[in-house]
Every structure is written in structure tokens, then in C-alpha cells.
Amino acid sequence: MQDYLSQLNDSQKSPTIHKDGPVMVIAGAGSGKTRVLTFRIAYLMEQGVDPFSILALTFTNKAAKEMKERIGSIVGESNAKALWMGTFHSIFARILRSEADFLGYSSNFSIYDTQDSERLISSIIKEYKLDKDLYKYRNIRNRISSLKNNLVTVKAYHNNQELVQQDKESRRPMFGKIYQTYVNRCFKASAMDFDDLLLKTNELLNRFPEVLNKYQQRFKYIHVDEYQDTNHSQYLIVKALADKFENICVVGDDAQSIYGFRGANIENILSFQKDYPNSTVYRLEQNYRSTQNIVNAANSVINKNLNKLDKKVWTDNEIGDKIEVNQTITDSEEGRFVASSIFEAKYNLQLRNDEFAVLYRTNAQSRSIEDALRRKNIPFQIFGGLSFYQRKEIKDVLAYLRLIVNPSDEESLKRIINYPPRGIGQTTLEKIQIFSNENNLTIFDIVENINNSDININNGTKQKLFDFVNMIKSFQIANENLNALEILNEVLKRVGVVNLLKNEGTPESISRIENIEELINAVQDFIDGQKELVDSNGSLNEFLEDVALISDLDKDIEKSEPKVSLMTIHLAKGLEFSNVYIVGLEEDLFPSALSSTTRSDLEEERRLFYVALTRAKKKIILSHSKTRYRWGKLNDCEPSRFISEIDTQFIKYNNLLNTKIKFKKSSESRIRFKKPERKIPLKQITNNNYSSNSNSEYIDINQGDIILHNRFGKGEVVNTEGIGGDKKAEVNFEISGLKNILLKFAKYEKVH
């Protein structure tokens, strides 16, 4: 026993050996909270507590598995297996299967995932012949989910006139009927959705005192990990189970409560002492992860929050480097700065790729980072999602662009012929495909002449096919005189993909809109970059070729090869990296515009920034842009208030623009509703007035020189011609092939 307890410091040991009564462990980032929770459970078992009477609730299967394995190594695997340890949903599903008959369910009830739920709701909407634009199945499912997590049953909904009125005002008076039908259908099918696992457990414990008493007697010792992330429903279940013995131990960090958008309620951890007046509070304040500078900087930020528990995180680690702040002119340059910085650090300090992480507020921001890393041949992985050009909405839009350039591209055609929906079904497409194969014609050729074909398709569908072809042809004509950005904007305007996503109104659809916006920015960035090429006009063909090259680069990366990690800050929680880049630190982006309107939302954004800072072990580089493209228009940006909230003694400015970075005075009361007003139309950006592209004092290069280009990567100079500002160089790049560049606009460095 003493062997594992000796691994703990005094602060960690105290809650570990505290056997009886309510305990709250406030654990700062990197302070060893998982170790405390693990060793505490092992200690209880060595003190003679029956493992069957210990309940441990986590938020991930991974955390539960790792803790159980660690406990098993101390007390033996067979004892560890007797523990009730797992996620909230898995444990409550286990209870519900044992007690299913109380609620009228079979013990082998099905559990519907999100897709199952959406499919059922969609069919109900169809049965009632409701307007799909008003009754979007995803919106309906999200509302049902929210109601269930707040313990609002169908009966409670109908008794709450405020909720009913909300749906009437939203032009969805049938919502209550859909909710009722959905619940009835699930019950009939002996199925529960994920939200039911919480709702029905609450119902079980409230309606049947004998069941509550049974599990109160069984679970004499209850442990909850990441208590700050619990929602109202989870909180009530845990409280009910712990009411008899009050041997409850919760572990968490209020400073890392960042899931308010998912229903997490920070008040659960803040009011623990009110719920249990005789509780003991322990604080784990020693950080074992980060340098002193990082810890102190993070403290100086989180102290700006008013709604928090008192703690002072400290560390005995080395002082370490100050946090660096870099400003770039555009968001694309930000990506190139990050890639160059990683490239230099790797080779100067002999670091591995997996020692670096790039964190951002929204998924769309990954694009410029991805592109820049690819150009530098630095392998990376996207956590929690696909790389930018693999995302569905991006592939959909690119399919339109590819079809314009190449109408024979059948995969692109099949992808978007009925997206957005235009009444061309799968059966119709299959008929055309068969006819295509039999007559050795492309699908586009057939659709183009659909009125002259003998395919069994009704006239209404033929008209829709005809309209589709005419739309593509009109894009082809327009493409002859437009650059890649102009034709992309024309496609988006005519096709209506963005409006379709706007009407969905879900967090997922908003993220997809952000990605499409970022595609526009990518095209703009591409066009700006093409200015340095002698024989380029920024056409759609050139852009698609560039994208194809980019996509091809990903295939060459070995799966086992160490990679730079790219992820949103939400996904980074619980992880750590030696070197962390936090990008896009601008007002209205981080903190987000929607989160700056109330104190509670702003404080959650600040906690998110705190989480980002505390992921780093050795080095942090913060980055923001002076300007950022939004829907292809260049907007001025204001540095995030969070940068100015870091105590100046822990930070240094690496100003790339040689101008003083100005921060507006941080104010909690300041509410921002709109973007900066200055907008620069694209047509104003020319080679003459876009100074960031100009390199009047360029590094001279000659035949045989090896250069490293910001966009094209490494290449050998094959030939040069001209002198002074008109000098050109033909360069054979390893990835991009032969390019003819104007040196005065090119961004490169000479390797040797």
C-alpha cells in the first residue's frame, strides 16, 4: 500500500486517504487529479471496502479503462473488475437494463444513436406532411435532446405554456405532437436514445423509492471525474444516489469548465459545498506539466473571472521561455508563419513533429495551417475531424467547380446532381448510368440530350435535368472571363448551398458555413499567391490543380510517422504537448462574437483560453492577424483581449510588422455585436498596392541555387533572366513542379 502512496505529494495524499464523508478535489491543470482518483479507489479497496459498493463515473471510456487498469495493477485485476466504473451513459444503461420492467421496457432494449433518432424524426415529419424547411429533423432532434436533458418530459412540455408558445412563435406549432409521437414510437420499439439513458434513470430513481434505496445501499462510495462538466440531469442522479451515505468524492477544475454549449453547468461544482455543508475541500495546486512562466501567465488570465473557486496553481518546474506573441498581416500569412516556425524549431532543436500542436477556436481555421504545413512537407493530423479538403461541404462545392472545368467528371456530377435537392432521385440516376454504360457515353452527354433519349423518365424530371445542365453550361461560359474566386462566388450564389445550411440552423451547419467561407478565403489566398508567377491568371483550372496537388500530398504520409497535431481547443482538453501554437487570437474570433455578449459566456471563453495555455509543457506561441478574409473581403482585426490580460512580465512580442501592437482596453462590460466596418473589396488588391506581397529587396538567386518558397516548398533554380525588379526565375519545386516566378513578389529564402 505504501508503495503507491509514496508517489503522491502531501496535497495529493490527503484526499486519497480521506475515507468517509463528502470530498471535493479542486485540481488545477497538470496537477495529477487522475492519479488521486485512481489511488483513492485503490486505497478504499485495501481498507476493506467491497469493490461492488464503489461507483466511479467518467466522461470517456478511455479514462475509465485507464483508471481501471491502474487500479488492477495495485489491488489485482479480479478486484478491479468488480468495480462499477464507466461513463455516465454506460453505467446508467446498466442500471436501466436491470430495472427495465419498472418502466415497462424489455431488459434488452435498443439504444438509438443520433442517426437512428434523426431517421425516426424525419419519418414522423414526413407522415404528418409538415414543411421540411420549418420542421428540420436535426433542429427537432436537438430541441428534444435539450428538453430531455433538462428533464422536460412530453407531459411537462405541454403543461409549460412558455415552451409551447416558443414553438408557436417559431412557426412550429406541431413540435409537441412530434415529441409525443417520437417518444411513443421509441417506447413501442423498446428503444431508448442517449438522452433517455439520463432521463429514464432520473425517472426510475424518483418514481420508485425501492429502486433508489437499492442503489443507495449498493453504492456506498461514489466518485465523479470532471465534475465541472456535469449537466443538470447527471447532477440530480449523482445527488440522489449519494444522499444516504454522502460518501461522495468529486474531482474537477472550475477553470476548465468549457462545455456550457453542451449543457454542462458550472454551478454544480461551484455549489458543492452548499449541497454538502460538512464537505472537505482539497486543492491540488502544484502543476507538474508546465514551466513557471506558463503557469503564472495562465493564472493571470483566469483571475479575471469573477465566478470561480479560489486556488493558486504553482510549479517547481523551470522558469522557461516567455510566451511569444506574433502578428501577421493576413490569416494566410499566419499559417505560413506557424509552419516556418515549426520547421525551424524542428531542425534547430532536433524536435519531433508530435512535440507540436496547433490549437484554434473553430475548425475552419485549420485550412491555412494545413496548406502551409503541406508546403513545408511537415506531416500533420487533424483531431476530431477530417482535413479541410476532405470535409463534405468542401467536396460538394469543389465537385461543382470540377464539373465546370470537366463535364465528363462523373463522380463529381453524381455527387451534386441532386445537391442541394432538386428532385432528381437515385432511380433516375441509375437509369442514366445504365444507358451511359450501354452506349459508351458520359452521363453529362446523356443529361444534355435527355429530351432526345428514350430513357423512361417523366417529363417533370427531364425538365429538372435540363435545368441542371443549363446551369452548369452557364457557369462554363462565365468561367471563360472570370478568375477562380469570381466563378466560385457565382456558383455559391446560384446553387444556394449556404442558404440551405443557414436554414438548418444547427451548430454543425454553422461550422459547415464557416468552412465554405474559408474555401473562399483559400481561393483568395491562392490568387494573391499566383501574382508572383509570370504565366498565371488565377484561373479555376489552376486552383483545382493546386488543390489536387495538396490532396495528393496527404497520401504520402506514413501512418506511423510522428505528426503535428491540429485541433480545436475543446478537443485539446486533457492533452499536453511540449510546444503549443494558439492561432486566430482576435476579437470576434476568440473570444467569439456570440460569446462576448454576456459575462457568463465571456468567462467560459476565458476558461477556454486558460485550457489552451495549460496544454503546453515548455513553449507557447500566440498568433493573431492584422487582417482576416471574411467571405473574400479583407477585414481589419483587433487583437484578442485575452492577450492583453496576460501579465506583461510573462510575455514578449515578436512583432513581425515592426509596428506597435495596440490593444483596446479590456472591459468586461464591452459588448460587441458587429465586425470591424472597414472592408476592402478584392478588386482593390493589386500587385501595386498590396505591399505584403512585394519583396523589393529580394534575395538574389542564380541557376543551381536551392530555395525554400512559402507556398511551393523546396526547389532548385533551373534558370534566371532579367535584372533588378524585373528578374524572373524558373524553379523546379519538389512538390509543385516547374514554376516561373517574379522575384520581387516572391516569398522565399535561399537554402544553399
Q: How far apart are CA 338 and CA 617, in angstroms?
A: 18
Yes or no: say if 587 and 666 are a contact pair by the CB < 8 Å rule.
no
The one-letter amino acid at 319: I
Beta bridge partners of 372: none
Q: Are 38 and 71 in contact (CB under 8 A)?
A: yes
Task: Count how many Cα atoms sit within 13 Å of the Cα of residue 688 in the half-sphere of its side chain.
Answer: 2
Region at 628 (left for phi over 0; alpha for psi -120 to 50; beta for the rest)? beta
Cβ 717 vs Cβ 746: under 8 Å: no
Whole-angstrom Cα distance, residue 613 to residue 38? 26
Locus of grid cell 448510368: 433
The β-bridge relationship of strands 356-360 and 323-328 is unpaired
Residue of 193, 195, 196, 225 with catalytic role = 225
The position carrying cell 454544480 is 268
Q: Tell me, yes or no, if 225 is annotated catalytic.
A: yes
Q: Which strands sit side by side in the sheet containing 728-733, from one edge to the other?
A: 737-742, 728-733, 713-721, 706-709, 748-750
Q: Please answer whether residues 607 and 460 qualify as being in contact, where contact means their C-beta atoms are separated by less than 8 angstroms.
A: no
Exactly one of 216, 256, 315, 530 is catalytic; which is it?
256
**Of residues 2, 21, 563, 22, the one with CA closest to residue 13:** 2
Q: Are 446 and 453 in contact (CB under 8 A)?
A: yes
Catalytic residue among 12, 13, 16, 34: 34
C-alpha cell at 305: 473571472
Length reported for the chain: 752
Question: Counting Cβ atoms within 10 Å, is residue 373 exposed (0-12), middle (13-18) or buried (19+)?
Answer: buried
- The grid coordinates of residue 414 equal 453524381
Assess whether 615 carries a catalytic annotation: yes
Give the gyration radius of the chain's Cα atoms. 29
**Listed residue (199, 157, 162, 192) closest to 177, CA to CA:** 157
Name the DSSP letter for residue 233.
Answer: H
Q: How far apart are CA 66 and CA 58, in angstroms?
A: 11
CB-CB contact of 519 with 443 (8 Å): no
Backbone angles phi, psi at 746, to 5 degrees: -80, 150
Provide the residue type at 119 as one letter. Answer: R
Gap between the Cα atoms of 273 and 240, Å rounded: 16
- Alpha-carbon dihedral 170, 171, 176, 178, rounded to 10 degrees: -120
Neighbouring CB atoms inside 10 A of 58's CB total 24
Cell numbers placing 20: 468517509
Q: Is residue 218 within 8 Å of residue 52, measured between CB atoms?
A: yes
Say how far apart CA 387 and CA 382 lie, in whole Å.
6
**99, 193, 196, 226: the active-site residue:** 226
261's CB contacts (< 8 A; 6+ apart) are: 507
Let me know if 34 is a catalytic residue. Answer: yes
| Residue 494 known to be catalytic | no
C-alpha cell at 114: 443520433
Q: Classify strands 679-680 and 633-636 as parallel, antiparallel or unpaired.
A: antiparallel
DSSP string of 478-500?
A: HHTT--HHHHHHHHHHHH-HHHH
Spot the catalytic one: 12, 13, 33, 361: 33
Taking the C-alpha atoms of residue 194 and residue 142, their distance in angstroms, rounded to an integer, is: 12
* Marked catalytic residue, from 35, 615, 617, 630: 615
Cα distance between residue 698 and residue 725, in whole Å: 9
Q: How far apart are CA 159 and CA 173, in angstroms?
A: 15
Which active-site residues does the annotation give? 33-34, 225-226, 256, 615
